[in-house]
Structure 1
Amino acid sequence: MKFEEPLKQHLERVFRDGQVSRRERKALTELLEACQFRPETLIRARELAFQMAESRMNAHNFAPVHRCLEEVIQIIEMVWSSSVPSVARVGFSPANECAAILLELLFGTQSSVDICVFTITDDRIRKALLDTFHRRVSIRIITDDEKIHDRGSDILHLVEAGIPVKVDYTEEHMHHKFAIFDRHTVLTGSYNWTRSGAQHNYENVLVTNDRRIVSRYQKEFDRLWKRFGAFRLPE
């Protein structure tokens, strides 16, 4: 990516100084605005910022480096939110509207999908997930430990394909139903990823790329990903 080298140079100056001055904020904003700011560009810019901060962080300078990182990420997200058209979309079932919206998002994903759902038993979704994974899109799944063993569950097939899955292993249910696409769009709602959820039940989905909402969902996913244990195939 052509923007990487100038961005690296700018971030080096920022983290070396230990603060984001008004001049540096303006320069970083102009640099990002000059890019073709596609989702993969946003993700790469964030990765570079985190890598730069990690390489400089130690016990003596944790606070200023962390503060710089927060300001840089804030600038990246501000430019992103101002350059990407707002998305707000809803779908309802019965019928296949909820499933169609989900499949469309999976087919359009470029870099990553983080999924946090109660159960997956719709073979159309399983196929779309495998196709997406084979395009080298990073996929992570969190699901309920009891629902894995239900008749028709697709989780075992996804684990066998190499997709990492974590489960709650608690007495309570992991009852979320949301997914985050390329870290900038979230799908959520009552819709279970099942045939009955798509064709028979009264369900809904909502899709948005509002960065404040997406950020909350991403933080919740990351929190649960750290908390829950990896699912392993039975020997």
Structure 2
Amino acid sequence: MHPTIRTVWPKSPWVRWGIGFGIGLLLFVGVSSRFHSEATLPTLDPLPQDPYIQAYFNQNQAAIYTDPYRHITRHGDNLEQVVIDAIATAQSSIDIAVHEFSLPGIAHALSQKKAAGIEVRVVVENTYSTPMSQRGSPAAIAQLDEHDEAKANDLYTFIDANQDGVLSEEELRDRDALTILAEANIPLIDDTADGSKGSGLMHHKFMVIDGRTVVTGSANWTLSCTHGDFADPDSRGNANSILVIDSSPLGQRFQQEFDLMWGDGPGGQPDSLFGLQKPHRAAALVSTPGSVLEVQFSPTSKTKPWAQSVNGLIAKTLGQATQSVHLALFVFSEQAISDQLLPLANRGVPIQTLIDPGFAYRSYSEGLDMLGVTLPDHNCKRDNSVPWATPVTTVGVPVLPMGDKLHHKFAVLDQSIVLVGSQNWSQAANTTNDENLLVIRNATVAAHFEREFQRLYDGASLGLTPQLQATIAQQKQQCGF
């Protein structure tokens, strides 16, 4: 008999439709923001972990933990604690490049290591490099766009422990991650350190410990990407994974990527390299006992052959599948990757695809191509999409709590190969952003991602749903074709 846990599920799925300004038709598939019932989910047997490559998921149904901030007991691996446990092993250095960093538990762990004489360095995206103490009042936050305002308000509410509407110095030192780092004199730069206004996105989510342990995956170091939005007890966090990999050769590759961005660090020459200022880094093979890994970093200049880019590596690896292709993606908008999948489908290789509800049915989504559908954008213009002549129906969106996202960027091929990293399957990620991708050939690791995929796929909304058909009809009527 396995233990069970009471987990929140939606009353009923619903669909919100709209046309996105400047980017085409948006279809948001979500669930009611208020949950009225709970279902009992069994706790599954844990899968064996590879000794050198451990995989963790914040929705893992084989684990239970209590959210340290909202005190909600739920299924999942505590991704923040995974990072903290890795930090505890550091003997000499900790180098971090993470898009967004607001988890105080990790910040306190780094502060303690810095006090113990360990070298700690941090790179973040410039949008998220300012401590909350310097970001203004609630009135100033209200002037942000809707997305940034919601994120800032949730963080403000989290830091304001006594809920008096004012952030005291004590609250900031306790709960504002960037303030904690600053108080510990941990050097931090963002992607303006090269003298620019910032790269496309510094979108990495990795840490290198002692030059050999790599912690990486799809999760930003935030409440929304791990535990769940602080102000919403129904949130369980964007679906994400983190890997902890013991490999000196892989650590050296990630260390080189970090060093390019770090340059001389704070106060030094503006010699940091972000985005396309970096030299081209070709895909590299490394190994751990029992595994072969391939690693590559973005961006790649459009002057280089596309096959030499990270998306080119994704397409090449997908083409090797012979039995099954399972995709769990935040965004899928790179046409050339879809073009690589089509011959597999024509050969009868089963392809199952889940895309985040916020992106699955935009005009540029390759999910629509796979469904054999073309949707015009908000100007009634058709893009260069190539709908499949023989569509598949195994494409759709998972059912998620309102506000949570499918933030994964992974594929599982033949239940033995995993593609995972920070890189969304888009042209912007490929040619503009600082990103990473790992190809891991290891059936033990693949089993963890396969279980996560099946968890999301069970109950997903697939194929030409009535709602999607209604949107297609509406656009045809609006655009006159």
Q: TM-score range by the shorter chain?
A: 0.5 to 0.7
Aligned position for 1:124: 336
Give the Cα–Cα distance (whole angstroms) in 1 for the partners of residues 417 and 336 of structure 2. Answer: 21
**2:323 paired with 1:91:** no
Give the Cα–Cα distance (whole angstroms) in 2 for the partners of residues 162 and 110 of structure 1. Answer: 17
Tell me by how many angstroms 1:163 deviates. Answer: 4.3
Structure 1, residues 19-77: CA drift from partner, whole Å, max 9, x if none?
A: xxxxxxxxxxxxxxxxxxxxxxxxxxxxxxxxxxxxxxxxxxxxxxxxxxxxxxxxxxx
Give the Cα–Cα distance (whole angstroms) in 2 for the partners of residues 192 and 147 of structure 1. Answer: 12
Equivalent AA in structure 2 for residue 198 of structure 1: N
Give the Cα–Cα distance (whole angstroms) in 2 for the partners of residues 104 and 204 of structure 1. Answer: 16
Contact 1:167/1:231 (<8 A) preserved:
no
Equivalent AA in structure 2 for residue 91 of structure 1: Q
Give the Cα–Cα distance (whole angstroms) in 2 for the partners of residues 138 and 228 of structure 1. Answer: 17
Match of 1:103 among 312, 315, 332: 315
**2:368 paired with 1:159:** no
Contact 2:393/2:462 (<8 A) preserved:
no
Residues 200 and 163 of structure 1: is their aligned pair in 2 closer, same or farther, counting only changes over 3 Å? farther
Aligned position for 2:349: 137
Aligned position for 1:184: 416
Tell me by how many angstroms 1:168 deviates. Answer: 2.4
Give the Cα–Cα distance (whole angstroms) in 1 for the partners of residues 422 and 463 of structure 2. Answer: 24
Give the Cα–Cα distance (whole angstroms) in 1 for the partners of residues 338 and 311 of structure 2. Answer: 12
**2:442 paired with 1:210:** yes
Give the Cα–Cα distance (whole angstroms) in 1 for the partners of residues 458 and 354 of structure 2. Answer: 11
Give the Cα–Cα distance (whole angstroms) in 1 for the partners of residues 358 and 469 of structure 2. Answer: 14
SS in 2 for 1:149: coil
Q: Which has the larger radius of gyration?
A: 2
Give the Cα–Cα distance (whole angstroms) in 2 for the partners of residues 226 and 220 of structure 1. Answer: 10
Structure 1, residues 142-180: CA drift from partner, whole Å, max 9, x if none?
A: 111120233411211101211411312432211111000
Give the Cα–Cα distance (whole angstroms) in 2 for the partners of residues 166 and 151 of structure 1. Answer: 15
Tell me by how many angstroms 1:203 deviates. Answer: 0.9
Unpaired runs of 5+ residues, structure 1, are 1-84
Tell me by how many angstroms 1:231 deviates. Answer: 4.0
TM-score by length of 2: 0.30
Contact 2:393/2:463 (<8 A) preserved:
no
**2:431 paired with 1:174:** no
Aligned position for 2:40: none
SS in 1 for 2:360: helix
Please provide the CA RMSD for this pair: 2.1
SS in 2 for 1:99: helix
Give the Cα–Cα distance (whole angstroms) in 1 for the partners of residues 369 and 324 of structure 2. Answer: 19
Equivalent AA in structure 2 for residue 118 of structure 1: F
TM-score by length of 1: 0.60
Aligned position for 1:193: 425
Deviating above 3 A after TM superposition, structure 1's stretches of 4 or more consecutive aligned residues are none
Tell me by how many angstroms 1:229 deviates. Answer: 2.3
Contact 1:139/1:163 (<8 A) preserved:
no
Which is bigger in relative contact order (C-alpha 8 A, separation at least 6)?
Answer: 1
Aligned position for 2:469: 234
Tell me by how many angstroms 1:225 deviates. Answer: 0.9
Aligned residues: 153
Equivalent AA in structure 2 for residue 189 of structure 1: G
Deviates more, 1:154-163 or 1:218-227: 154-163
Tell me by how many angstroms 1:210 deviates. Answer: 2.3
Structure having the larger proportion of residues in strand: 2
Residues 113 and 207 of structure 1: is their aligned pair in 2 closer, same or farther, counting only changes over 3 Å? same
Give the Cα–Cα distance (whole angstroms) in 2 for the partners of residues 149 and 138 of structure 1. Answer: 21
Structure 1, residues 104-146: CA drift from partner, whole Å, max 9, x if none?
A: 1111111110000011111101111112211211100011112
Aligned position for 1:24: none
Equivalent AA in structure 2 for residue 135 of structure 1: R
Query: What percentage of aligned pairs have identical amino acids?
Result: 28
Equivalent AA in structure 2 for residue 127 of structure 1: D
Contact 2:331/2:360 (<8 A) preserved:
yes
SS in 2 for 1:145: coil
Aligned position for 1:222: 454
Give the Cα–Cα distance (whole angstroms) in 2 for the partners of residues 103 and 163 of structure 1. Answer: 21
Aligned position for 2:172: none
Give the Cα–Cα distance (whole angstroms) in 2 for the partners of residues 130 and 90 of structure 1. Answer: 25
Aligned position for 2:362: 150
